[in-house]
Amino acid sequence: MNSAIRRLAVAAIILMLALMANSTYLQAFRANDLNGRNDNRRVRDAQFSVDRGAILVGSTPVAQSKPSNDRFEFQRSYPDQIATAYAPVTGFYSYLYGRAGVELTYNSELNGSDPSLAFRRVVDVLTNRRQQGASVSLTLNAAAQLAAYSGLSGKKGAVVAIEPKTGKVLALASRPSYNPNDLASHDLDKVGATWKKLNEDKTKPLSNRAIKELYPPGSTFKLVTAAAALSSGKYNPDSKVRSPAFLELPQTTVGLVNEDRKNCGGSDNATLTVALRYSCNTAFGTIGLDLGADALREQAEKFGFGERQLPELGAAASRFPADPNAPQTAQSAIGQFDVQATPLQMAMVSAGIANGGDVMKPYLVQNVKTADLKTVSETKPESLHQAVSPEVASKLTQMMVDVVENGTGKAGRINGVQVAGKTGTAQTSPERPPFAWFTAFAPANDPQVAVAVMIEDANVPRTDIAGGTLAAPIAKKVMEAVLGQ
């Protein structure tokens, strides 16, 4: 054999070995990634022929597959009367645009390809049954979810409710919303037109405001500042705090003022309880300057700031500014400057206080079950952080009860039930309306639900925007739904 033929043979062998290595690599290490890609049309065609599992709230499907008379064999369907209410959670299942929400993060379980369902697939093959996906059961409370969604009618905003003792998400609503049936349709021209319309809509109906958008929390953040103050040992609920109508700040001519331009509850030295009752900016600015940014940041992080929660939906991490100067620290203490939070995060703050200072890890999926109802996986409650001591949590609870009974949170009252809450109105710029907030839990002596409501825009005059007037009534309805009121 001459040298040219030998070189050609060696090159062919190398190419063959490279092809075998690449094939082995793709099948052994990249198969799941490639199969899971939203743009993999071959896999998608096959998956559309699978009887995809249902997404359930209680025993009610909020997403399910039904037989279809076209080449895809099954049509993903969302009950029309509640589809938009659950869309931020279920997401969509679309031939053209892939998946979102639980449809995305639990795709392999829903389509039956997950490794945990291997035995089930073997049984299906042996019994000559069509492959079926597993069902995914959510923690949502149907009454609370619908109360949250209907409460947001005509508004841009979001609601999150949590069971304090476990971290179960009981409601997660965002509005404006969309109908996932329009994206799951097998009329691909219609789907394309819908997608274009949704993405061009300035109200951002595809945005999950409850967990993925960050907002200034305003005065609801004063709960974090109060927690830091009480935990420091320097303050108690009856401690006097400097609270004039105008608080001068170091390094700047711009100071802090209270909303009514007066001192706090008729005193330049209000107690911490009174300061929270009337949400006095100057008092909490004073505390922020006294404690410093590091203490506030540390307290915020104990409530979950800086961490991404709900991997089921990919929540954004709330944040406290990295290195604020003194005036910026005073602004941060009242939930302004660069403090940014999701409604989920502020619900976690209330839930942590309600649960004796123990912040539970929020979760949305209760369990996954095969078509024959065998449990594949189940979520167990898990403690995230001990944000404050039980003693501090008890003091904060009583201060929050005072806010609802005697202060800015009166619209959150529930007959026969003691509610603990905090209002917030966050300023941004003169060009846009303030954000209205309310976070609360009930009953105060045996908490069953903690809730946060954020109103981005209610289409009302600027002077009518306040957490106590816009957000608190919605929170009340959600809490009543959970409590069966």
Provide the pLDDT for residue 485: 82
416 against 31, higher pLDDT: 416
Instruction: For residue 245, name the pLDDT band (cuts at 50, 70, 90).
Output: very high
Is the pLDDT at 312 greater than 70? The verdict is yes
Spatial strand order in the sheet of 449-457: 169-175, 156-162, 449-457, 435-442, 420-426
- Residue 104 pLDDT > 80: yes
Higher pLDDT, 133 or 478: 478
Choice among 5-9, 68-72, 159-163, 205-209 with the minimum mean pLDDT:
5-9
| Cα–Cα distance, 159 to 57 (Å, whole number) | 17
- Mean pLDDT to the nearest integer, 225-232: 98
Query: What pLDDT is attached to residue 50?
Result: 83
> Dihedral angle at the C-alpha atoms of 189, 90, 158, 225, nearest 10 degrees?
-140
Residues 214-234: what's their mean pLDDT?
Answer: 97
pLDDT at 89: 98
CA angle 166, 388, 173 (to 5 degrees): 45
- Is a pLDDT exceeding 60 seen at residue 311? yes
pLDDT reading at 265 higher than 80 = yes
Whether pLDDT at 1 is above 60: no
pLDDT tens-place string over residues 2-45: 677 777 777 778 877 777 777 666 565 665 665 555 555 666 77
* E strands in 176-255: 240-242, 246-247
Residue 285: band (very low, low, confident or very high) from pLDDT cuts 50, 70, 90: very high
Domains and CATH numbers, the chain: 218-365+381-483 (3.40.710.10)
Q: Per DSSP, what are the bridge partners of residue 417? A: 414
Choice among 219, 243, 279, 350 that is catalytic: 219
Span 311-315, mean pLDDT?
94
Mean pLDDT across the chain, nearest whole number? 91
* Percent of the chain residues topping a pLDDT of 70: 91
Mean pLDDT along residues 339-356: 98
- For residues 422-436, give the mean pLDDT: 84
Cis peptide bond N-terminal to 443, omega within 30 = yes
Say if pTM beats, i.e. exceeds, 0.95: no
What does the pLDDT look like over 182-220, one tens digit per residue? 999 999 999 999 999 999 999 999 999 999 999 999 999
Question: What is residue 20's predicted lDDT score, i.e. its pLDDT?
Answer: 72
Q: 389 catalytic, yes or no?
A: no
Query: In sequence order, what are the residues at sequence separation of 6 or more whose Cβ sits closer than 8 angstroms to the Cβ of residue 26?
Result: 34
pLDDT recorded at residue 428 = 77
- When mean pLDDT is compared over 24-33, 380-389, 451-460, the highest value belongs to 380-389
Residue of higher predicted confidence among 49 and 171:
171
